């Protein structure tokens, strides 16, 4: 909510006042400041913009940041280096073990397009630490090929992405990395819907099923297996049809009691909706549905 974000924003301002006194924080109520709302084209609330070197032109949007700690990291990465340079395995271990998630870039050299894209991505994902290295010893220790990005979760590598000469877009990498801030399958509720839309994945797959049914555990396991294979490409969401407060989302997808368990894909950009052709929620059927959708063949 706006109120919540406003408090986190104020907390970030308090902490940064000591550390970075050059950075000024301000709040504007645009219901009274129509000219400013128009000038900066403010559509949604709350919106946070970062102005650089006193210029009103092209401020940077700070999207999807909700916690004071992430605000602080976001600003520090905009005003200084966005990643930590790693020269030894001990340094790498310290970053990987410091929190739940960490991202390390393993490079041949520290000046190429891939490095640039990696550092830009780090600026947009303040929820986790980023490190990069070109040390042979460190790359050998983790058995990682050079020019790849590795996501570590709870100290273990969970995703490896080859960076081919900077061809990946920053958005593509941000998308993959941010999916790790959510659970493998995200249970839908009114509060989480905001967080789900912060992750820039445009393909959402939703499983509609009552969580208290006898077949739930088996279906859910199948759904999780499929989710692991499409992480970063699709966001897997679970909607409990036994929960009355989820009524609006059933209406949106036109799901009736007799339809469940049901699986749908939603493309956020086009708002197109797709129905899984098979009735049974098996790993095979889910994989086939996701793959045909990603190949542009789903109806």
> Which residue ranges make up each domain of the chain?
1-79, 84-178, 183-295
Residue range 51-58: mean pLDDT, rounded:
90
Residue 168: its pLDDT value, please?
A: 75
Give the residues across from 204 on adjacent strands. Answer: 235, 266
Residue 45 has pLDDT above 80, yes or no: no
Tokens of 37: 């709302």
pLDDT tens profile 59-75: 999 887 888 999 999 99
Other CB atoms within 10 Å distance of the CB of residue 184: 14
Residues 169, 166: Cα–Cα separation, whole Å: 7
Place of tokens 């959510």: 182
pLDDT bracket for residue 90 (50, 70, 90): very high
Q: Determine contact, residues 126/77, Cβ cutoff 8 Å.
A: yes
CATH of 183-295, one of 3.40.50.150, 3.40.30.10, 3.30.365.10, 3.40.50.2300: 3.40.30.10
DSSP 257: G
Domains 1-79 and 183-295 equal at CATH topology level: yes
Please give the structure tokens belonging to residue 61: 């949007």
Q: What is the pLDDT of residue 194?
A: 65
Quote the DSSP letter at residue 259.
G
Nearest to 236, CA basis, from 293, 274, 179: 179
Segment 181-229, tens digit of pLDDT = 888 898 987 666 666 666 778 899 999 999 999 999 999 999 999 999 9
Mean pLDDT within 89-109: 96
**Rounded-to-integer distance, Cα 101 and Cα 73, Å:** 15
Q: How far is CA 40 from the centre of its chain?
A: 25
Distance CA 196, CA 193 (A): 5
pLDDT at 165 over 80: no
Quote the mean pLDDT of the chain. 90
Beta strands in 134-219 (DSSP E): 148-153, 156-162, 185-187, 203-209
pLDDT (0 to 100) of residue 39: 92
| Range of 185-199, 245-259, 269-283 with top mean pLDDT | 269-283
CA distance 281 to 222: 7
Among 82, 101, 75, 105, CA closest to 12: 75
SS3 229: helix
71 in Cβ contact with 23 (< 8 Å): no
Please, are residues 243 and 208 in contact by the beta-carbon 8 Å criterion?
A: no
Mean pLDDT confidence for 134-138: 96
- For the record, the structure tokens of 138 come out as 């460190």
Q: Which residues pair with 103 in a beta bridge?
A: 130, 151
pLDDT of residue 238: 95
Which residue is it, tokens 């995200």? Answer: 186
Summarize the confidence of residues 31-49 as an average pLDDT.
Answer: 88
Which CATH architecture fits 84-178?
A: 3-Layer(aba) Sandwich (3.40)
What the block records as the tokens of 255 is: 């799901």
**Residue 137 confidence (pLDDT):** 95
Which one has a higher pLDDT value, 274 or 172?
Answer: 274
Question: What average pLDDT does the segment 13-20 reach?
Answer: 91
| CATH class of the 1-79 domain in this structure | alpha beta
Average pLDDT, stretch 79-108? 96
Q: How confident is the model at residue 143 (pLDDT cuts 50, 70, 90)?
A: very high
């Amino acid at each position: 909510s706006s109120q919540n974000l406003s408090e986190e924003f104020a907390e970030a301002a308090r902490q940064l006042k000591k550390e970075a006194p050059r950075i000024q924080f301000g709040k504007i109520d645009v219901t009274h400041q129509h000219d400013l709302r128009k000038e900066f084209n403010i559509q949604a609330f709350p919106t946070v913009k970062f102005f650089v070197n006193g210029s009103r032109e092209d401020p940077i949007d700070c999207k999807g940041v909700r916690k004071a700690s992430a605000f602080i990291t976001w600003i520090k990465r905009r005003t200084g280096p966005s990643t930590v340079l790693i020269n030894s395995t001990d340094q790498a271990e310290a970053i990987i073990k410091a929190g739940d998630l960490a991202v390390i870039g393993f490079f041949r050299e520290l000046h190429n397009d891939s490095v640039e894209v990696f550092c830009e991505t780090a600026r947009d994902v303040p929820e986790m630490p980023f490190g990069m290295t070109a040390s042979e010893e460190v790359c050998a220790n983790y058995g990682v090929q050079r020019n790849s990005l590795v996501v570590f979760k709870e100290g273990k590598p969970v995703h490896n992405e080859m960076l081919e000469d900077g061809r990946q877009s920053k958005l593509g990498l941000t998308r993959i990395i941010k999916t790790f801030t959510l659970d493998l399958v995200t249970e839908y509720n009114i509060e989480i819907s905001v967080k789900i839309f912060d992750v820039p994945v445009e393909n959402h797959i939703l499983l509609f099923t009552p969580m208290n049914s006898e077949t739930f555990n088996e279906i859910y396991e199948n759904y999780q297996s499929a989710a692991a294979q499409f992480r970063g490409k699709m966001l897997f969401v679970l909607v409990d049809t036994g929960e009355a407060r989820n009524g609006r989302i059933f209406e949106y997808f036109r799901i009736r009691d007799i339809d469940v368990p049901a699986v749908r894909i939603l493309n956020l950009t086009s708002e197109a909706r797709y129905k899984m052709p098979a009735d049974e929620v098996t790993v095979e059927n889910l994989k086939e549905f996701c793959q045909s959708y990603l190949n542009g063949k789903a109806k």
